[in-house]
Amino acid sequence: MHCDQFTHSITRRAMLRASAGGFGHLVLSALAARGVAASGLVPGPALSTAQVPHFTARAKRIIFLFMWGGPSHVDLFDPKPRLTQSTGKPLTGKDVGDKRDQLGQALGSPFKFAQHGQSGIWMSELFPHLARQADRLCVMRSVHTEGNAHGEALLRLHTGQANLVRPSVGAWVSYGLGSESDNLPAFITLSPPRGHGGVQNYGSAFLPAIHHGTAIGSAEIPIAKAVIPNLTNHRLNPGQQRSQLDLVQSLNRTHLRDAEMDPGIEGLIGSYELAFRMQSTMPQIMSLSDESQATLDLYGVGHEPTNNFARQCLLARKFAERGVRYIQVSTDYTWDHHNKVEKGHIEEAAKVDQPIAGLLQDLDQRGLLKDTLVLWGGEFGRTPTVENGDGRGHHPQVFTMWMAGGGVRNGLTYGATDDFGYHPVENPVHMHDLHATLLHALGMNHERLTYRYAGRDFRLTDVFGKVVHGVLG
């Protein structure tokens, strides 16, 4: 290596000139000197070394509906008549091709299953609203992951890794695509979990901090009460603050003039302007007052038990509309039914069914569904065997997730499990494969979306992952 490798840097001012949008479109990149961490300024298209998109994007953004705790696949999307017949009988390794001898006592689903729509997608009676959207779904019954505990499984779902700190899926998407909005970050997470990896699940790790997910609230707080830290000034009104900011910026510009050339000072000036704008745009979006009653009703806003999740889903649509690339919506830690799985699933499904169906319809009506990929699922599934008499345990071996919208082959059931829903037996989709597929739908090659850190180039899927072309339209 020679020293001349360090002289290629493009100054930020040159980049500013090159990008017509000025600060609003200025971003840094992997081009910035490595080792001296590249720095992001404000949202805009990222210049990653990977030159994205790598190919035509089928979707422009993702909305991930996260069911924290682990919904039971055999009670929702994956009917298992043999399991039902075997209820109360021991399930052996031989039944499902497992190394272990005894797996526990089989527990069939108490719910009725039926096929829905033209495509005949199977769903249990717990999702009556969603059932009417069946033809929009691509149900993947063969997803699998690692991690028997929530923490590990959440981290793998959100970052692909558990024992190492890695950027989250949303951060990678932000890094690859940047934001379409001048006023909003590229990655927003509504009501994220504080535990089980917490911030790491939407963190940027070694990617520039600009790609860190912006959290609004947290899982245990109703979204209507959620606040973004420091978004509001409680002492100065906007007029006072503007006059104060004008003074600050005039000093900053003098400083920049004296410094003649300093990307850091330029960045600081830009960050204040964006911050000031965010103060008015974010509350506008967060307030649902500009939504029609019909829309609110569609999602179930204002009614229980749907109110909270409905608000979250509606916000997701508003952010999607305004160019946010990756939006995650999370339930509270409510899907973990080690006891009373029947009662628990009835209650939890009722909270999310109408909001989710409403979201799909609303996105469609506004022409957004064709380029918005909606993903649904938890960190793992639940055991086909019983726990504590009437509950189910954690089951990373296989579970169901579904996708809808942009780039997705709708009306499809993909992959299959054995007769008891214990292992995948057809077209298994590992978590890394799912990640590769999501990036692919956004026009990015998961092997080429890389970031150099600590001497090596990292990617979301590590050395793994294959795109599941079968689920893409």
Partner 1 sequence: MSNRILHGLACAAVLIAAPSQGADLNPSDPVAGRSHWAFKPLVETRPAVTQEGGWSRSPIDDFIKARLELASLRPAADASPRALIRRLYFQLIGLPPTPEEVRRFLDDQRPDAFERVVDALLSSPQFGERWGRHWLDLARYADSNGLDENFLFREAWRYRKWVIHAVNANMPFDRFVLEQIAGDALPFDSTEQRDQQRIAAGFLVVGAKVLLGNDAMRQRMEVADEQIDTIGRTFFGLTLGCARCHDHKFEPVPRADYYALAGILTSTQVMEQRHMLGEQRVMERLVGLGPDGDVLDASYEKYWREVPNLKERSKQAKSALEILEKGDADAFKVLVEKQPNAVSEAAKNLTLPVEKRVESQKSLVAELSDILAKPPKIPPRAMIPADMDAPADEAIRLAGQFDRPGERVPRGFLQVVSKGARPKIPDGKSGRMELARWMADVENGAGQLTARILVNRLWHHLLGRGIVRTVDNFGRTGEMPSHPELLDHLAKELIDSGWSIKTVVRQIVLSRTFAMSSAYNAKAHIIDPDNRLLWRAHRRRLDPEALRDAMLRAAGQLDLSPMDSTVWYLGDQATAVGKNEVRRRTDFPCRTVYLPVIRNDLPELFQVFDFADPHSTTGARPQTTAATQGLFMLNDRMVMDAAESLARRILADDRIPASGARIDRMFDLILNTPPTDEERDAFLDFVQKSEKRLTEEGGTEPAIRAWSMACHAMFSTSRFQFLE
How many Å apart are CA 377 and CA 165, to the nearest integer? 22
- List 44, 71, 170, 208, residue binding partner 1 (CB under 8 A): 208
114 versus 236: smaller Cβ distance to partner 1:
236
Contact call for residue 197 and partner 1 (CB under 8 A): yes
Find the binding residues for partner 1 in span 114-143 (CB under 8 A): none
For partner 1, the binding residue among 195, 305, 411, 470 (CB under 8 A) is 195
Residue 347 sits at the vertex; the CA angle it makes with 435 and 61, to the nearest 5 degrees, is 25
Q: How far is the CB of 279 from partner 1 (least distance, A)?
A: 7
Q: Which two tokens stand for residue 472?
A: 């893409």
Ramachandran region, residue 128 (left: φ > 0; alpha: ψ -120 to 50; beta: rest): alpha
Interface map 348-387 toward partner 1 (x if CB under 8 A): ----------------------------------------
Q: How far is the CB of 460 from partner 1 (least distance, A)?
A: 11
108 vs 344, which CB is nearer to partner 1?
Answer: 344
List 115, 240, 339, 365, residue binding partner 1 (CB under 8 A)? 240
The neighbour count for residue 210, using CB atoms within 10 Å, is: 24
* Number of residues engaging partner 1 in binding (CB under 8 A): 102
| 458 to 154, 167, 343: CA distances (angstroms) | 20, 10, 43
Q: Decide if residue 199 touches partner 1 (CB under 8 A).
A: yes
Pick the closer one to partner 1 by CB: 125 or 447: 447
Nearer to partner 1 (CB atom), residue 111 or residue 458: 458
Q: Does 227 bind partner 1 (CB under 8 A)?
A: no
Nearer to partner 1, 229 or 367 (CB): 229
- Among 58, 141, 150, 317, the residue binding partner 1 under the rule CB under 8 A is 150
Binding positions for partner 1, 254-293, rule CB under 8 A: 254-256, 259-262, 264-265, 267-276, 278-279
DSSP notation for 167-197: --HHHHHHHHH--S-SSS-SEEEES--SSTT
CB-CB contact of 340 with 295 (8 Å): no
What is the Cβ-side half-sphere exposure of residue 119, based on CA atoms within 13 angstroms? 18
- Distance separating alpha carbons of residues 300 and 293, to the nearest angstrom: 10
Single out the residue of 459, 460, 471, 472 in contact with partner 1 (rule: CB under 8 A): 459
Q: Enumerate the H helices of 381-443 as residue ranges.
A: 431-441
Task: Give yes or no for a cis peptide into 45 (omega within 30° of 0).
Answer: no
Say if residues 138 and 117 touch (Cβ distance below 8 Å).
no
Residues 1-20 close enough to bind partner 1 by CB under 8 A = 1-3, 5-7, 9, 11
Binding to partner 1 in span 314-353, by CB under 8 A = 333
Measure the N-to-C terminal CA separation of the chain; round to a whole number of Å. 45
Indicate the residue among 137 and 460 with the shorter CB distance to partner 1: 460
Piece in contact with partner 1 (CB under 8 A), picked from 158-166, 317-325, 343-351, 364-372: 158-166
What residues contact residue 198 under an 8 Å CB cut-off, 6+ apart? 192
Distance CA 265, CA 183 (A): 20
Of 129, 143, 179, 158, the closest CA to residue 323 belongs to: 179
Q: Name the strand (E) or helix (H) holding 121.
A: strand 121-124
Q: Any contact of residue 231 with partner 1 (CB under 8 A)? A: yes
To partner 1, the closest distance from the beta carbon of 195 in angstroms equals 3
Q: How far is the CB of 432 from partner 1 (least distance, A)?
A: 7
Which of 53, 110, 128, 198 lies at the binding interface for partner 1 (CB under 8 A)? 198
Q: Choose the binding region for partner 1 from 97-105, 170-178, 192-200, 369-377 (rule: CB under 8 A).
A: 192-200
Answer yes or no whether residue 294 interacts with partner 1 by CB under 8 A: no
Alpha-carbon distance of 286 to 73, in angstroms, equals 33
Least separation in angstroms between CB 194 and partner 1: 5
| CA–CA dist 89, 176 (Å, integer) | 50
- Pick between residue 278 and residue 472 the one whose CB is nearest to partner 1: 278
Cβ-based nearer residue to partner 1, 26 or 74? 26
List 85, 87, 102, 250, residue binding partner 1 (CB under 8 A): 250
- Say how far apart CA 459 and CA 279 lie, in whole Å: 34
In the structure encoding, which two tokens stand for residue 360, read together? 């799909």
52 binds partner 1 (CB under 8 A): no
The interface with partner 1 within residues 394-433 (CB under 8 A) comprises 430, 432
In whole angstroms, how far apart are CA 324 and each of 178, 273, 386?
A: 9, 19, 41
What 3-state DSSP class applies to 346? helix
Stretch that binds partner 1, among 59-67, 72-80, 251-259, 345-353 (CB under 8 A): 251-259
The two beta strands, 187-190 and 214-216, are parallel
Q: State whether the Cα torsion 45-50-51-53 is positive or negative.
A: negative
CB of 314 to partner 1, least distance (A): 24
Among 20, 36, 225, 293, binds partner 1 (CB under 8 A): 36
Tokens of 139: 């149900």
Q: Which of residues 57-116 bind partner 1 (CB under 8 A)?
A: none
